[in-house]
Structure 1
Amino acid sequence: MDFVLFFTFLAACGAAAATGALFSPGDWYRGLRKPVWTPPDWLFPVAWTTMYLCMSAAAARVAVLPDAGQALALWSVQIAFNALWTPVFFGLKRMGAGLVVVLCLWLAVALTMLALWQLDRIAGLLFAPYLTWVTVASALNATVWRMNPEARG
């Protein structure tokens, strides 16, 4: 694996992750009703660190391959939606708009995973935990939105 490419993709992930520091959940989110299956707070940084490492490794694996353009373009789309969700949901407190963003993210992640899989099966598999997590995040966003009609922005 080309480690310069890996760290380049990891920097993009770091930029997306920085939105979590800029727009933390705060009291607003803590005060919302949430389903019993909401992941515990400690799991989020562990999960995201793991996923960002896997996403970066997947992109670095395919970046050196011929015909990787579509997969890398999709990778760029998914990281853009990844970076957008936190400011929309936590910053603007717009749960409905956050749901639209996370569903776009889910589609982008699924398409990226398929494109990566076609080039390199390991790269595709490295995206599987991410797709799983975004599936849970989508369901959580939808459920929190439904459970808190008075807090919809």
Structure 2
Amino acid sequence: MLFLTFLIACAAAGATGIIFQPGAWYDGLKKPGFTPPRWAFPVAWTSIYILIAWAAARLAPLPGSDMAMALWAAQIALNTLWTPVFFGAHRTGWAMAVIVILWLVVARLTVLAFGLDVWAGVLLLPYLIWLCLAAALNFSIWRMNRRR
């Protein structure tokens, strides 16, 4: 039941991708050569959301997990915010600021998770890795399209 609760939170965050889709604006942007194909994004995010819900379900009942769970809540809020800023408002610079803060929160969460439950930390690693790629992509798009 705990896993389902966190999965619902992740689904709510993921729903912003349905509301604010890439569309013609994104298609018209200059993008770096390392841009993943469009189909990779929903596959990656679905997998990541399952993993981070699982990590949260492992962490939540543990004594001393208060800070980790506060960071989990912060990361899901920031995760939810990024999509409307980037795809909705077309503010790639602001989105870059959001993703940097998100990365820092997830990095700290991952460190704390490893201290509480090694498997929870392992479950968060793909998220941190994907955020590295997403941040590099956001940064490159921001830099390559400044005049737009």
Q: Tell me whether 1:53 sits opposite 2:39 in the alignment.
A: no
Within the candidate set 65, 69, 74, 2:62 is matched to 65
Distance 1:96 1:62 in 2: 33
For normalisation by structure 1, the TM-score amounts to: 0.95
Q: What are structure 2's unaligned runs of at least 5 residues?
A: none
Distance 2:59 2:135 in 1: 27
For normalisation by structure 2, the TM-score amounts to: 0.98
1:149: how far off? 1.3
1:64: how far off? 1.2
Deviation by residue 1:111-150 (Cα, 9 ceiling, x = unmatched): 1111111100000010000000001100100000100112
Q: What are structure 1's unaligned runs of at least 5 residues?
A: none
| Correspondences of 1:1-153 after superposition (within 5 Å) | 4-151=1-148
Give runs of ≥4 in structure 1 deviating > 2 Å.
none
Distance 1:46 1:124 in 2: 21
Question: What secondary structure, in the 3-state scheme, does the structure 2 residue paired with 1:9 have?
Answer: helix
- Matched residues, number: 148
RMSD: 0.6
